[in-house]
Structure 1
Amino acid sequence: MVATRASRAKFISSALSFVTDYGFDGLDLQWAFPVCWQGDCTAGAAADKANFAMLLKELREVFDAKDNDLLLTAAVAAHDNIVQKAYDVGSMNKYLDFVNLMTFDFHGGWEPITGLVAPLYGSDASDTKSVDAAVKLYARMGLDKAKMVVGIPFYGQSYKLSTGGHSVAAPAAGPGLAGEKTQQRGMLAYHEICFRLRTGWMSKRTANGDPYMYLKDQWVSYEDVQSIKKKADYIASNGLGGAMVWTLDLDDFENKCCSEPQPLLRAVSRALRGVPSGPVQASCKQPPPAVTPAPPPMTTTYDSGAVQSPTTTKRPRPAFSETTTTTTTTTTTTTEKTTTTAPTTTTTSTTTPATTSAASTEAPHMTSPAPGGLKFNAIGFAADPESCSSYYRKTPEGPIKLTCSSPLHFNPESSQCDWPDAVKCQIKQGGE
């Protein structure tokens, strides 16, 4: 897409139309990564670096010609080997309003020893895998600190320990067990982490205040309210642009852990935006259910298909300086080590209803025993031969049974919970 001026122009035209037609504030670019595709710096073309810089320049020119208030931002790698090969930082500084640093996944279950998912500081002066090291690297390469937005993960990286050690850098034998909701080995959402902390897991902190926890052969590095407060203080004291998070749905949004709804997001907002303090004591009260806005009224008049731009109030583009700022930019990002499920997107459709991912259904429970003859597909899912709505997922500990939310059925072709009409399951049991 970035290789030629013509292909860039096509993308820019469509992006501008989408942003302006729907009244967005701007465009956030997320490419993982120029030259270093999915973190492999031998996979991409060397020309990606210059071509990405040209894309930023041409986007900025077209956006400013259309509307000088449109924002242009990008989510970028924080690993030093990728940064130096993938980015023309001078061009980023010139053409972008904010730069979202993906300062997480510095360590994970792909490594032979345990490590911290997003340490604020490295273990020593030579350790480049930390928030502070990434900020200093970009500053040396010419990025205005006021444009740097620090990424904060609302999840943890998990490991299976291979020995009796429980410290940072303990020997590991791969990723940890999957969570009840996220259902992905090697990571846990914060709402799964805080629940474990209430049910017997041991928690400790490094000398720099980074939390980790363990139980038996499971070990997790994560963020909590205390570590986030420390990062917010770092952001403010260094005059950085703010913070962004990955992702909102991984926080304890239902207050399952009896602190408050969305404790991590609130910790960021209190520290950087001055929102009111939290409850004096812990509360298990759940937030009210979200209210979905009513759909727009149907019309029988002729529709040409043109999208009408809504009336919006323009926000001035932020002014950058080396002074301390308390702006908080909340976005979501991807990383070279993909560890999280994709954000949920709600759409309105007049044709086929959207499907629901199998990984977003009810919590798994162990079968006792699983039916014989299960036929698992290439990604480890198998239909339940006795039920249209249930299915099995293969794990090293044995098959686990999951159930789709009513009235959905499991679709073995897509490994998703789908509408019955799309699945056409013939099993008749329990009123199905």
Structure 2
Amino acid sequence: MLLAGALACSTDQRSITAPSDAARLDKNKRNLPSAPQSVQATAGDAQATVAWQPPRSTGTSALVSYTVTSSPGGITATVAASATTATVAGLTNGTTYTFTVVATNASGSGPASSPSNAVTPKAATAPNASPTATISAPTSGASVAQGASVTFTGAGSDPEDGALSGASLVWTSSINGQIGTGTSFSTTTLSAGTHTITLTATDSKGAKGSATVTITVTASAPAPSARWVSGYYVGYQRSLYPETSVDFTYMTHVIVGAAEPTGSGAGLDTTFFIDNTNGPKMARNLTARAHSFGRKAIMMLGGAGWHNQLVTATNSTYRAAFVSNLVKAMNAFGFDGIDVDWEPVNSADEPQALQFLKDLRAAKPGIIITFPVGWVNANFGLSDTFAAQIAPYVDQINVMSYQMADNWGGWLSWHSAALYGEAANHPSSVSSSVRAYVAVGVPAAKLGVGIGAYGSCWSGTNAVLQTLGSTAGVVASDNVMSYANIMSSYYSSTAYKWDATAQMGYLSFASATGPQGCTMVSYEDPQSVSAKGAYAKSQGLGGAIVWTIGQGHLTTAAAGQQDPLLQALYGAMQ
């Protein structure tokens, strides 16, 4: 009985002990942290970065660390509990891995997380290296004649792509824009001037490298008998046509404006409408470039608004000192002559102006002197012989035959610069003005016609030869209505009209058009300019002036087509 009782007692003790072990196991699990969440891996070069979210439960104590383990390989990385990312290094590039994360507290490590996404480390790609470009011809500093064939040779090499060719090599000129592609090409169309030639190499990933050389293309000097094309360049329009870009191909003379009498004795202002530093710099740039292209550079003196100052500077008290100051300025800036822009020459001014021209010529033998004169109203003609009196002392007498129409009492609407077709109610044309000057004794060979590289914006009429109301007339012209602005803001083929009698074109609009609200725009274009050039040649005239080359310059046109008025005029007169 005792043995049996003892055995029974033993059986009872075992049945009580088993639940006690299970309870201890559950308690241990509750002490440990749960599994980290949302494990994500990002591959690197022989490594991976693993990120996760903390476990839902940290157990009965704070977390101590996290351990990340790779599969395959069992490579681990342990980080402090404050981190939720770790980098596992020592992986094999090209092998695919997943990762689990275990959280650990003071009681031990909890269960592993679910595996991360699979990633495959790979070697880092080296950054794309830029290609290199080299130019072997022409050599920097070379000089060639305009129209001569110039061969460009270069190469491009890229660390990844090797030798580059074709469209991967682009040649550009600072004057003419893109001029070619590839490792070698030749061209005969470079404009006169100093070119910075750039070869740009571009690899398959868009990286670029470049090389540059500088060459000078020189224009042939005009023949002594060639008619002049004298283009005005004024400092206040410098931004329209930077002096370092001026193409001298279609000019024989550049007239740089302007030096001005100060009105105080023999004083002379040579800021050229800019300032004391940049004005002289501009002037020297233009004279040097003109000479390098075989052209002449003239210093403009005076202009509209400077009449009284010229009268003061050239009177008997100051004239000698003023002439001396002009010659000094010419020499300092490298000018070949002076354009005496005396506007207007009143009857009382004529003896003084004539003596000034005589003294100026005597002070510097070989000086070029040009003198612009006004257009002539055909209803009144020209009886004054001043132009004929000055002819022996000047080289050019240029008629400012532009802006020759407006709503002037009794006038019909008319062209700004008709070549022919004047009548009593529109009494202006280039040809009638020329005839007037020849009639008073001005030699035709010393006369030049004027080309305005700007137009007249009319309001209140949309055609020529129309009766004008009291409010009709020209509302904008010089500076505002430049040829460049007309072509960009007003021109359309449907609006263009050609007057075969006047040899002049204009634009006609049914309603106010463009920034100035024009209903008609009268202006010079290549066709009308060619007609005037041909007229000058047929009449044995000396040449023409253009006011101003900046207004006629088309910056967005293709290389070689940016000065269409100059090009048309020069071509028609040769």
Q: Place the TM-score, normalised by the shorter chain, in its bin.
A: 0.5 to 0.7
Residue 75 of structure 1 corresponds to 372
Question: In structure 2, what is the Cα distance between the partners aligned to 1:75 and 1:63?
Answer: 20
Question: What is the CA-CA distance between 1:51 and the residue it aligns to?
Answer: 1.4
Residue 267 of structure 1 corresponds to 568
Q: Deviations over 1:119-139 (max 9, x none)?
A: 111334896521111111111
Residue 499 of structure 2 corresponds to 205
Question: What is the CA-CA distance between 1:257 and the residue it aligns to?
Answer: 9.7
Residue 191 of structure 1 corresponds to 484
Q: Deviations over 1:400-425 (max 9, x none)?
A: xxxxxxxxxxxxxxxxxxxxxxxxxx
- Greater percentage in strand: 2
Residue 135 of structure 1 corresponds to 434
1:12 aligns with 2:330: no
Aligned Cα RMSD in Å? Answer: 3.0
Superposed, 1:25-424 pairs within 5 Å as 25-35=336-346, 46-64=347-365, 69-80=366-377, 84=383, 88-108=386-406, 113-124=412-423, 128-161=427-460, 166-171=463-468, 173-175=471-473, 182=479, 184=480, 188-195=481-488, 196-198=490-492, 201-217=495-511, 218-255=519-556, 260-273=561-574
SS at match of 1:197: coil
Question: What is the CA-CA distance between 1:255 and the residue it aligns to?
Answer: 3.8
Contact 2:407 2:413 in 1 (8 A): yes
Contact 2:444 2:541 in 1 (8 A): yes
Question: What is the CA-CA distance between 1:26 and the residue it aligns to?
Answer: 0.7
Question: In structure 2, what is the Cα distance between the partners aligned to 1:178 and 1:257?
Answer: 28
Q: Deviations over 1:338-391 (max 9, x none)?
A: xxxxxxxxxxxxxxxxxxxxxxxxxxxxxxxxxxxxxxxxxxxxxxxxxxxxxx
Give 2:414's aligned amino acid. G
Give the alignment's TM-score, normalised by structure 2. Answer: 0.40
RCO higher in structure (CA 8 A, sep ≥6): 1
Q: Percent identity?
A: 27
Contact 1:194 1:257 in 2 (8 A): no
Give 2:448's aligned amino acid. V
Q: Deviations over 1:269-323 (max 9, x none)?
A: 22224xxxxxxxxxxxxxxxxxxxxxxxxxxxxxxxxxxxxxxxxxxxxxxxxxx
Structure 1 residue runs of 5 or longer lacking an equivalent are 36-45, 274-432
Contact 2:459 2:473 in 1 (8 A): yes
SS at match of 1:155: coil
Give the alignment's TM-score, normalised by structure 1. Answer: 0.52
Distance 1:82 1:21, change over 3 A: farther
SS at match of 1:245: strand
Question: In structure 2, what is the Cα distance between the partners aligned to 1:168 and 1:126?
Answer: 9
SS at match of 2:520: strand
Contact 1:57 1:91 in 2 (8 A): no
Contact 2:458 2:476 in 1 (8 A): no
SS at match of 2:322: helix
Distance 1:254 1:98, change over 3 A: same
Structure 2 residue runs of 5 or longer lacking an equivalent are 1-309, 512-518
Question: What is the CA-CA distance between 1:91 and the residue it aligns to?
Answer: 2.2
Residue 344 of structure 1 corresponds to none
Give 1:216's aligned amino acid. A
Distance 1:96 1:243, change over 3 A: same
Question: What is the CA-CA distance between 1:169 and the residue it aligns to?
Answer: 3.0
